[in-house]
Structures are given as C-alpha cells and as structure tokens.
Structure 1
C-alpha cells in the first residue's frame, strides 16, 4: 500500500494514524490535506474531522559514482555543488511552508472574527493592514459598538481570542490588533488627555493620583505621555488584572 486516506479530529492526529497504519515515519511520506476540520464559534473545537492523504515516497536508486582520480579538484567541487543545491532546495521548501502557514493563520483569524460578528447579528468587512510589528484588522460595518464594548473591553477580549486562533494555525508568531471605527486612535487621545489632566492635579494638590485599573496597552499610553514631564513621574502597582498607574511628583 503506497497511498492512504485517513481522518482524525485534527490534521496532526490524522497524519499520525496514517503513519501507524503504513508503519512508516513522516519523512518517508508526502501529506496532502483533503479537508480541514470544521470549527465552532471560537475555532477551538472540531465538529467535522480532518482528512489527509499520505503517499509513500518511492526510494530512488542510488546514483552510480563516476570514477575520478582521488586528488581531483573537479570531483570534489562537483560533490559540493550537489550538496549545496540539495540544501538550497530544502531551505526554499521550508521557507515556503512557513509562508503558507502564516497566511493560513491570518485567514483563520479573519474567519473567526467573521463568525463572532455573525453570531452577534452583525455584517462586517475586515481590511488587513500590515504594520511594522503587527497586523491590523480594521473592522467596518454598522452597530460596531457591540464589538467595541465599554471602553473597548469587548474589542480587547476579541483581539485576545483572535491572536490565539491565528497562532494555533501559524508556525510563525503573529500579533494582530483589532480596530473598529478608529476606536484605537480615539481611545489614545482620551487617555493622553486624561494623563495631562491628572498630572496637573498631582502638581496642584502635591499628592499622588492613582488611576483605575487598565490593561497593559492603555497603561503604556499613559506612561509614554508623561515620561518626559518635568515635574511628574509615573509607575504601576498591583497585579493583573487590577494593576494601575500612580502619578506622583518627582523628588
């Protein structure tokens, strides 16, 4: 038997079943994914199995060596050339596999956000914008306040889950930021204005001002806004999720 089609809850499980039945190892077969496992709302549980096809690699006959003088530089260089070529082909194949895996991670993340929006009765469109250190999923549609939530809490939770799904399907680490109705920029302006107002209060009262608990990305905005202030310093205290910023006078 040289070809076998098997199913499993995940692609990895299906492949392992096939390898066991063929009594071989993964480097001795080629794997073709015929069907992806179906996913529930959060992309974490399969309701339809994965299906893969395993084909045993036929071993090619060894090449007959060409006689050459043992000290011949030409023979040595030919051997090196073949090795480099094979290594280059293997490296190219590996890079291509990673690129495909990263693309799959992005697509699975998009599907996940679409599924969540549909479950909320929303019709949305997602534009993917590649930034320097992350991917921006810009969500457009109506009634996006449901996705944003109070002070962006729903959007932040959805962003967290989206990153989990993306990295489950990618060999390369992905960092995805979700935005809707330019909420991230508007929230940054609000936090920077808050930082200035509370810094002035600390100067006026000469007392420390403690902010309410904030997620790390929002605390970062406050710290960055006041880091060069001539009279004010900031620090964080407490444990997540109740960690908060303290604004105080410099000594």
Structure 2
C-alpha cells in the first residue's frame, strides 16, 4: 500500500501536492490531516505548513467509496498545544524557556522564565508579548471546546508595567490639576487603558475617557 506525506500552505495545497507526486486523482486516495497550518508570530516566526498523509486506495476499496475519506484528527490537549507553540516561537528566537501555569481573575497566566534575553519576547512596552499573547489565545481556543483566556507574562512584566502605569496616572493627574489643561496619552492597548481608568476613577479632581479608534485609541485625563 503506497503512501506519502505532503505539505503545503493550506491543507488543500498539501493534498494537491501529494496528488501531483502520486500522479493520481483525489478519488484514489485516503487523506489524513497530520498538522494544520500556522502562520506563526507576525507571519514569520514559528510558521508551520499544513501536513497530510495520502494513502492510495486499493482497487477493491475504491469501488466502495467514490470520495476520499479524511481521517479525524486525534483529540489534542489545548494547553499542551499552546505551550508547544510558545516554546517553538522561543526556540526560533534562540531562547530556552520554562512555562509555569498560574490562575488569576483575568484568566490562566502562562509565566515564561529561563535563560537568554527574554526582553526579546517582551518587546518595546510589551508590544511583542501582547502580539504573542493574541496568537497564543488563537492556538488555545482552536483546540478547546470552551473559551479559554490566556494571559502571557515574562519576568513579571505585567505587574511591573501595571505599577508604571499607575504611577504615571498619578503624576499626570497632578499635572492636569496644576496646569488646568487636559493630557492626552499615547495609544495603548485596551488592557493598559483600563489600568489608567481604574487608577483615577475615584479621583476627586480629574476624570478620564478614551477617544480614537483602535489601534490608536488613547486615554484623556481632564478636570472634572
């Protein structure tokens, strides 16, 4: 029984590449999906092609079925697949990391630690970490029957960033009171804007609101 493993950008491409190599039509093979495609971080890091196995159907079996059968994928643990994805991205960046799971009110926290410069995974003001967190949630929910909320952290960046934003909020509130002029902050993620709003929501003299469209939505601090 002849069989091959073929790959491509999509499952359809992988199947077509396999059919071309075998020089047969689609009704002559059984197809098993081995790996779904993944674009990887920013479409570059950790990218993975689709991979399928094609088995030529014996003549007797071919008479019983006129269409190819796609075997069902084995059930995969969503957290295992998520951690595997993160580790692959880290290895691509030359980092050897350890992942620790912690529960929080915001979701399941995957804390990254290890040797090397984890700052590469964090990026400027956490932008790389946020992008990786976004992709991590896509991977987790691809394999989960219920919605998962994953928070990605590295070297306690989330807590350090929260403290920085809270201190910044207090300083800028004082500036607004002294100058009696509103302050417009730089564009921030929804999570970081929420930190600013929460820090000043009970302030006696200033208030906050957001303006603009994503990804350039900003917090404004002004007098009440």
Same fold (TM over 0.5): yes
- Taking the aligned partners of 1:135 and 1:50, their CA distance within structure 2 comes to 35
Match of 1:124 among 97, 120, 145: 97
Could you say which residue in structure 2 is the equivalent of 1:37?
35
Match of 2:164 among 190, 203, 228: 190
Q: 1:178 aligns to what SS in structure 2?
A: strand
Match of 2:52 among 49, 60, 64: 49
Q: 2:204 aligns to what SS in structure 1?
A: coil
Match of 1:176 among 150, 157, 171: 150
Q: 2:181 aligns to what SS in structure 1?
A: coil
Q: 1:228 aligns to what SS in structure 2?
A: coil
- The structure-2 alpha-carbon separation of the partners of 1:110 and 1:41, relative to structure 1 and needing over 3 Å to count, comes to farther
- The structure-2 alpha-carbon separation of the partners of 1:211 and 1:133, relative to structure 1 and needing over 3 Å to count, comes to closer
Could you say which residue in structure 1 is the equivalent of 2:114?
141
The answer to whether the 8 A contact 1:192-1:222 is kept is yes
Q: Deviations over 1:123-167 (max 9, x none)?
A: 001011133451100000121000000100000000001101111
- The answer to whether structure 1 residue 113 and structure 2 residue 83 are counterparts is no
Q: Deviations over 1:193-234 (max 9, x none)?
A: 000000000000011111111010000000000000001100
- The structure-2 alpha-carbon separation of the partners of 1:249 and 1:116, relative to structure 1 and needing over 3 Å to count, comes to same
Q: Deviations over 1:82-108 (max 9, x none)?
A: xxxxxxxxxxxxxxxxxx96x721111
Give the structure with the higher percent helix.
1
- The structure-2 alpha-carbon separation of the partners of 1:48 and 1:197, relative to structure 1 and needing over 3 Å to count, comes to same
- Taking the aligned partners of 2:197 and 2:222, their CA distance within structure 1 comes to 12
Q: 1:197 aligns to what SS in structure 2?
A: helix
Matched positions, count = 181
Larger-gyration structure (1/2) = 1
Q: Deviations over 1:172-211 (max 9, x none)?
A: 1111000000000000000000000000000000111111
Give the structure with the higher percent strand.
2
- Taking the aligned partners of 1:155 and 1:198, their CA distance within structure 2 comes to 26
Q: 1:122 aligns to what SS in structure 2?
A: coil
The structure 1 segments of at least 4 consecutive aligned residues displaced by more than 3 Å after TM superposition are: 7-10, 38-41, 43-47
- Taking the aligned partners of 2:53 and 2:199, their CA distance within structure 1 comes to 49
TM-score, scaled relative to structure 1: 0.63
